[in-house]
Chains A and B, each alone.
Chain A
Amino acid sequence: MNNSAIKVSQLVKTVKTQEGDLTILKGINLDVKRGQSVAILGPSGSGKSTLLGLLAALDTPSSGEIWLDGEPLSGLNEEQKAALRKQKVSFIFQSFMLVDTLSALENVMLPAELAGIKDARDKAKRMLERVGLGHRLAHYPKQLSGGEQQRVAIARAFICDPQVLFADEPTGNLDKHNADKVADMLFALNQESATTLILVTHDLHLAQRCERQLLMDDGQLFEQRADSSSQVIGER
């Protein structure tokens, strides 16, 4: 287990709807090794984002267990989960989720400041230079293109040296040129910092850049093989 960044056992998520209970995740099992990059593919509504929320300790499962860096999430309260996220986890979102009123530099500094890192400003500057935005530190999100905004988000994601990075459709809002650029940067930084990457995407091309590809369908997770066949991960 020590070598696992994320381990999931019999994970079930059921939500209440007007028509009754709806089971979104039906007994998922998963083991992601440290430093591994994993893509989760699947049609809309298949439960990809629900799984991402659970893995990142943003949501609570109906049953089953998740271990993040060897630590079981089930016993943690919201405060402890927040502390765990602060130490070990980072995020990239499809809609960038930058704070409109803060400059690029201040957006990148934000998680570092929350984590109490002293040289947050210098570190943020270096990160922005690393993603090629050293000349746009004082620009606000609205003054940046979509690709640039997502590069800011990447810089923000890596500033605290996370062990696991969750990316939800990171190129979903970008054109191909920008998407490729952002993806290049994401994978380069990921490799450099040996971060475990969990990437939810529709983009097969992007998914193929990951070491593993998992397919989410009807609440179940299948491992995509090189020969294009798939196998339910939950079956043993």
Chain B
Amino acid sequence: MEWTLAWRLFRRELKQGQLVLIILALTLAVLSVTGLARVSERLQVAINGQASKFIAADRIINSPVLLDGTILQQATKLGLKLSKNLQFNSMVYSGDEFQLVTVRAVDDAYPLKGHIELTSGVTDKLPLPGELWYESRLAALLGHPDTVELGNSRLKMGAALSRLPDAGFNIFASAPLVLMRLDDVPATGVIQPGSRVTYLYQFVGTPAQLQAFETFAKPLLTSSQRWVDVQSGDSPIASAVQRAERFLLLSSLLGIALACAAIGIAAQSYCQRHYDVVAMVKTFGASARQIRILFGMHLLLVTVAGVILGLLGGFLLDALIMLALPAEIAAYSAPVLRPLLLGVATGFISAFMFSAYPLLRLLNIPPLRVLQRQLEGVKLGMWLHLMLSLLAMGLLGWLYSRSLTLTLTVVASVVLLGLLLGVLGLLLIRMGQSIGMKTTNPLSLALAGLRRRARQNALQLVGFSSALVLLLIILALRQDLLEEWQKQLPDNAPNYFLVNIAPEEVSPMQTFLQQHAIDATDIYPVIRGRLSAINGEEVITSEQKEQGQRGRMGISRELNLTWRDTLPRHNRILQGHFNQAADEVSVESGVAERLGINLGDALSFVIDNQTVVVKVASIRAVQWETMQPNFFMIFTREAMAPFAYTSMASFHLNDNQKNVVLELIRQFPTVSIIDVGAIISQLKGIVSQVSLALTLVLVLVVMASALVMLAQTEAGMATRQRELAILRTFGASGGLLRWATSLEFAILGFVAGTLAVIVTEFSIWLLKTQVFELNVYAHWAWWLMAPSAGATLVATLGLWRCWQLLQKSCGELLKLE
């Protein structure tokens, strides 16, 4: 019977528009979560897809030995596409000429993503059997032969290579690169047991397949084998993608918090509206169980309606956004299930947990209210409401982000906002005592109204402020992230690298660059060396460690070392001072952390079979994303004086300066020129996609904030209705009431704006230091803008609602009550 009643009550209330506010709030919550989840998942897939072209695959396993067969079997079983590559250094001969080259031997599946670029353009083909594709400088070095010898094989010089999709960042490779077929390698006989080779296993698949594969394969890898994905930190894309993902996640989290605020407001007024009904049915003898079922069921129906509408809205939103996105992003299909489940969970968790407290109060309404209308029953502790709300928000945040730091940061901001508002609310209540209603002028009427309704106003402040806070946070981070990326990839970011500049060529090269007005970086000397000991303790390679050798871990490969008199641009000293004495070295912070290197440690390097011992004078932060020559170790000129070196630099050329490159090649035939323009444009492509995503998220959050504010104004208006009616009855002019209402809302909006700026600055500081690793600075303009915008926005909303009410006669107004 209660079910029938609940259903009837729901149907009737729905028809008469009484459930609009709460269903709208729920719809908004589900819509923003589903929509944002859907959009951000799609963008993540798209961004990862774009970025994975840089590694020519989704995942790579990098191994010095053949990979365990079970791993490859599992990959096949999971339906992943696989490409096997081999990379090694070897000599090629042509007559009397010979040259060390880096050989990349690939199977038919290569490349799984992206394209091979030849000097003649992009190709989908591979070298034919018996053929070799080569970097043009190899041909120059060998005197343009038709064939070359590699081990026992004679291979035909096929096409001139411009770039491999996954070789873009190997700019230090001093040996020219050649590409050949994997099947041709055994015949050359160059790979012998113990040869230094790298096996590259590249994989492509759906996110689910990749996830399953990662879970299976990663634990089986030895320490010398490396798992590589687009975010492994090796590519300049990695940190861009990571930040973008975190930002999308955060926006969605804030979307959830916003939705929660909307539901909190709506649930409160939803329950208040049912006080009389509960009192009445209790009077007629309804049992506690009957009332629980009646309203539990009613809320369930409301929630289901909100969830269904929200899901539909979310997918509609996604569809609309897809229309606005470039076709290549829209083409990536993202999983549907997670956004769907998240939406449903959001609807139910937020509806029930935010309604729990108002609902408990509702169920505790005494039947005597039918005679004494002011009775509202037992007031349960507000802390219960607070705990439940925070728990709901935290739970949803964690479900969504699966990141505790991010969730806790958001919840901490909410708590701070609550505390601030609590204090302010209390102040207002104190001020409000013994102040009556003045009707002399709009301002005193507004102030009196504010003080009298201090408790409600404090609640409204929560709504207005949270909407503004979220908006500001998204705005700030979006701007900062974009600026940061823009800084790293300015229009004049270096798009060419010059390597292997011989010492005697440095000066002519500088002259050449100056003559052609080319904006180049400093020229850095490069010396190859190996870290052999830390504080006298010999370091071992990962291979040695696997063979059971004990000792401190070092770096398995040779490093590019440089010397400089001054700290390079884009580098920042974190600890210590830049090299002063001859035996000092500056170490990059990442490698220092990985190897446990501290200030004052003695590092031994083996260069040209000689050992050099230096002291760590500084730990240095390097921006790897910038297209600048960057180094792990910077020595002093004196320390490196005994060793042979080549030099490198990077510079930017406009499209109309391309002929300079040809001239450069002619004048400096042995210098390697590496074009990274393609990589830069791909990077810029990713940044612009992320920018688009950020803008979309911003628009969504603006919409959500506006709706919360509207709901909040609506809730505030209900309590003002009776007062408006009375004042109107006693002859207050419409103008006075409109002014008073607008002023009251404007003051509320102003306070909300001010509070919002305070909380925003705090939250941004937390987020930037803990999550995004961005520079922190205050947004002074906001301290003026946010309160003014808050006042204008809230006053407009208030005035609009007041206008509607004042269109009605006194009788109608009183009847509405």
> Closest CB of chain B to A162's CB: distance in Å?
10
Cα A87 to Cα B366 in complex, Å, equals: 19
Give B286's nearest chain A residue, CB to CB: A114
Assess A58 versus B367: contact at CB under 8 Å? Given A101-B12, A111-B284. Answer: yes
A86 at the interface (CB under 8 A from B): yes
Main DSSP-derived SS at the B contact region: helix
Within 67-119 of A, Cβ neighbours of B (below 8 Å) are at: 78-79, 82-87, 89-91, 93, 97, 99-103, 106, 110-111, 113-116
Chain B residues, Cβ within 8 Å of A83: 285, 287
B16 at the interface (CB under 8 A from A): yes
Query: A58 near B370 (CB under 8 angstroms)?
Result: yes
Within 30-87 of A, Cβ neighbours of B (below 8 Å) are at: 49, 52-53, 56, 58-59, 78-79, 82-87
Query: A115 near B285 (CB under 8 angstroms)?
Result: yes
> Closest CB of chain A to B495's CB: distance in Å?
69
B286 partner, pick from A86, A142, A168, beta carbons under 8 A: A86
B280 partner, pick from A49, A97, A113, beta carbons under 8 A: A97
Chain B residues, Cβ within 8 Å of A86: 284-287
> Closest CB of chain B to A179's CB: distance in Å?
20
Query: B13 near A101 (CB under 8 angstroms)?
Result: yes
Query: A168 near B371 (CB under 8 angstroms)?
Result: yes
Q: Mark B1-38, 1 if CB is under 8 A from A, else 0.
A: 10011001100110010100000000000000000000
> Closest CB of chain B to A66's CB: distance in Å?
15
Query: A85 near B284 (CB under 8 angstroms)?
Result: yes
Q: Mark B274-288, 1 if CB is under 8 A from A, else 0.
A: 001100111111111
B371 partner, pick from A52, A85, A113, A140, beta carbons under 8 A: A52
B372 partner, pick from A49, A91, A101, beta carbons under 8 A: A49
B349 at the interface (CB under 8 A from A): no
Query: A91 near B277 (CB under 8 angstroms)?
Result: no
Give B15's nearest chain A residue, CB to CB: A101
Give A48's nearest chain B residue, CB to CB: B371
Cα A116 to Cα B289 in complex, Å, equals: 14
B290 at the interface (CB under 8 A from A): yes
Assess A79 versus B288: contact at CB under 8 Å? Given A52-B371, A113-B5. Answer: yes
Query: B287 near A97 (CB under 8 angstroms)?
Result: no
Cα A110 to Cα B284 in complex, Å, equals: 9
Give A103's nearest chain B residue, CB to CB: B12
Chain B residues, Cβ within 8 Å of A102: 8-9, 12
B71 at the interface (CB under 8 A from A): no
A-B pair count, CB < 8 Å, reads 81
Assess A93 versus B370: contact at CB under 8 Å? Given A58-B283, A85-B283, A111-B284. Answer: yes
> Closest CB of chain A to B110's CB: distance in Å?
69
Query: B1 near A116 (CB under 8 angstroms)?
Result: yes
Cα A51 to Cα B63 in complex, Å, equals: 90
Chain A residues, Cβ within 8 Å of B12: 101-103, 106
Chain B residues, Cβ within 8 Å of A101: 9, 12-13, 16, 18
Chain B residues, Cβ within 8 Å of A116: 1
Query: A91 near B283 (CB under 8 angstroms)?
Result: yes
Cα A106 to Cα B5 in complex, Å, equals: 9
Chain B residues, Cβ within 8 Å of A100: 16
Chain B residues, Cβ within 8 Å of A53: 368, 371-372
Assess A99 versus B285: contact at CB under 8 Å? Given A113-B5, A114-B1. Answer: no
Query: Which of A56, A79, A101 is the most central at the interface, judged by chain B CB atoms within 10 Å of its CB?
Result: A101
Cα A168 to Cα B371 in complex, Å, equals: 8
Chain A residues, Cβ within 8 Å of B371: 49, 52-53, 58, 93, 168
> Closest CB of chain A to B557's CB: distance in Å?
75
Within 363-377 of B, Cβ neighbours of A (below 8 Å) are at: 366-368, 370-372
Within 93-107 of B, Cβ neighbours of A (below 8 Å) are at: none
Cα A53 to Cα B290 in complex, Å, equals: 22
Chain A residues, Cβ within 8 Å of B288: 78-79, 82
Query: A113 near B4 (CB under 8 angstroms)?
Result: yes
Cα A82 to Cα B12 in complex, Å, equals: 26
Chain A residues, Cβ within 8 Å of B9: 99, 101-102
B285 partner, pick from A106, A114, A140, A168, beta carbons under 8 A: A114
Q: Mark B434-470, 1 if CB is under 8 A from A, else 0.
A: 0000000000000000000000000000000000000
Assess A110 versus B281: contact at CB under 8 Å? Given A101-B12, A101-B18. Answer: yes
> Closest CB of chain A to B378's CB: distance in Å?
12
Q: Mark A108-152, 1 if CB is under 8 A from B, else 0.
A: 001101111000000000000000000000001010000000000
Query: B5 near A110 (CB under 8 angstroms)?
Result: yes
Give A91's nearest chain B residue, CB to CB: B283
Chain B residues, Cβ within 8 Å of A85: 283-285, 367
Query: B372 near A99 (CB under 8 angstroms)?
Result: no
> Closest CB of chain A to B715's CB: distance in Å?
18
Chain B residues, Cβ within 8 Å of A111: 284-285
Query: B287 near A82 (CB under 8 angstroms)?
Result: yes
Query: B16 near A114 (CB under 8 angstroms)?
Result: no
Chain B residues, Cβ within 8 Å of A110: 5, 281, 284
Chain B residues, Cβ within 8 Å of A89: 285
Give A120's nearest chain B residue, CB to CB: B1
Query: B285 near A91 (CB under 8 angstroms)?
Result: no
Cα A108 to Cα B13 in complex, Å, equals: 17
Top-3 shortest CB links A-B: A86-B285, A85-B285, A101-B12
What are 20 A-B pairs with beta-carbon distances under 8 A? Answer: A49-B371, A49-B372, A53-B368, A56-B283, A58-B283, A58-B366, A59-B366, A59-B368, A79-B287, A82-B282, A90-B284, A91-B370, A93-B370, A97-B370, A102-B8, A102-B12, A103-B12, A110-B5, A114-B1, A114-B284
Known contacts A56-B283, A58-B367, A114-B290; 11 additional CB pairs below 8 A are A53-B368, A53-B372, A58-B368, A58-B371, A82-B282, A82-B288, A97-B276, A97-B280, A111-B284, A113-B1, A142-B815
